[in-house]
Amino acid sequence: MEFHNKPFSERKGAGETSEMYAMQYYKNRNINIIRSGLDALNEDIPVKNWMNIPKYIRNLPDFIIVGDKGNFFLECKGGFDHVHIKISELKSYGFWNDFIPVVMFVWSSAYKTIYRVEYVKLMDLITEQNYKIGEYGDNKEKYHIIPAGDLHLKGVMDKAPKLEKSGGN
């Protein structure tokens, strides 16, 4: 079964791996990274209860980066050679971007590379490239299919950090 057709319980691991790379990346740079998203609770909330939480709250970005040059939200995504970003999530990130900037942190397992791209620039890229739209089989959520290699067109590409065995920060 293709990855995007697997149930969410199996797909969420890609985001968790991306989060580990993000924590290591910012730890290596001595930049504060603070968990903020609900999935940070790492609890299995029944779907019926999860869906009762307003979408903007469910889609709060994963981290807040606090640094000398300013603060921003960080949303982590993972993928092989493409990243799938739900259209409904992008709408929520736009909401949060009105408070402090949102930056997407994408880990590509195919390229062993991370990409960082600001939300506004990602939206420009999506508009300019007119990417294909897919749909998850389990929840019918539509998503943009974005080639990971395109993210450097509007963002920054970097070699993925080596993960420490502890994985924490």
pLDDT digits (tens, 9 = 90+) for 20-43: 999 999 999 999 999 998 765 556
- Mean pLDDT computed over 8-13: 46
Q: Is residue 127 part of a domain?
A: yes
User: Using one digit for the tens of pLDDT, what is the confidence trace for 81-103?
Assistant: 999 999 999 999 999 999 999 99
- pTM here? 0.85
SS3 state of residue 136: coil
The string of pLDDT tens digits covering residues 120-140 is 999 999 999 999 999 988 788
Query: How many structural domains comprise the chain?
Result: 1
Contacting residues for 21 by C-beta, under 8 A, at least 6 apart: 76, 105, 107, 114, 160, 161, 163
**Domain containing 95 — which CATH number?**
3.40.1350.10
Whose CA is closest to 18, among 43, 39, 41?
Answer: 39
Query: Could you tell me which residues come within 8 angstroms of residue 16 by beta carbon, excluding any fewer than 6 positions away?
Result: none
Structural domain for 55, as ranges: 3-158
For residue 43, being part of any structural domain is answered with yes
Residue 167 lies in a domain: no
Inside any domain, residue 168: no
